[in-house]
Structure 1
Amino acid sequence: MKNIKKIKISNYLPHRYPNLMIDKILKIKNNFYIKTIKNISNNDIFLQGHFYSNPIFPGVMIIETMAQSSYLLFSLSNKINLKKKLSSFFFVGVNFARFKSKVFPGDQLVIKSIIIKKKISFYFFKCIAIVSKKVVCESELMFYFCKNKTKKLF
């Protein structure tokens, strides 16, 4: 695996500002585990109206951050650089999502994602979101890998 500090996240994720949720990769282990960071800021567009007088990072954006961490793990583990554009990885499901605490501006959201299963072209990830050593969300995510970008998903 490459030196984590030298990995350019945008080469492995198709997302760009304001939808790029991963600020930093902390750890990648044996092509099945990744630990990333999203710094929550008052400037995040998702906080502008959620909620105006008491900004809370939306739960759906926590799930999106987990999804991007999982996508990044898959791309790095399989050496899939977006510059090659020969494949697609689609986020197709969320199971067992549980929100345990609120996330506020100034928090540092740590995401841990583990590949737990592969079935044909489907990949399953167990994800945990943590703020200050406290679990704020848990979920299992499912993705579909398509080697040919022109192939229809459904």
Structure 2
Amino acid sequence: YVNWLFEIGKNNSSVFHVDANGNEYAVTNNQTSDRRLKTNITPLAESGGLASINQLKPVTFNWLSPDYTKAEQIGLIAQDIEKIFPQLVSEGGTTTLQMPDGTTQTVSGTKSLNYSGLIPPVVKAIQTLSQKVEAQQKEIDLLKQQIEALKAR
């Protein structure tokens, strides 16, 4: 039994819904990214790519509150990301957790992470790695040619 808290759909088919545990489900998720709506567009600096991505600390964790899913999660910690990409972390209001023993715990200034904002630095990191691989391949090819030339003497 699933208790949907919010659902959008048409023709008796759900295209977006949020369940009682706060999980959201959607057919797709698009974010506005139109050049005409942006200003001060500059390429992401090299420092915002591979070097920054290498500082990230992926973790596994479980939520404290039994109201959230009990399954082990994979993710990042907002406070860690804030040191590297502060623009991807926002601070919200107060969250009250229902603890397993029935008590409640209030956490103020709860931090949230814009996970999709990590895509551009990951793309930049992949581009950097790709350039390095291409340069290394050219060097390997040149070294092979030099070896063959030496063998032919």
Into which bin does the TM-score normalised by the smaller protein fall? under 0.3
- Which one has a larger percent strand, Structure 1 or Structure 2? 1
| TM superposition score normalised by structure 2 | 0.26
| TM superposition score normalised by structure 1 | 0.26
Larger Rg: 2
Q: Which has the higher contact order (CA 8 A, sep 6+)?
A: 1
- Which one has a larger percent helix, Structure 1 or Structure 2? 2
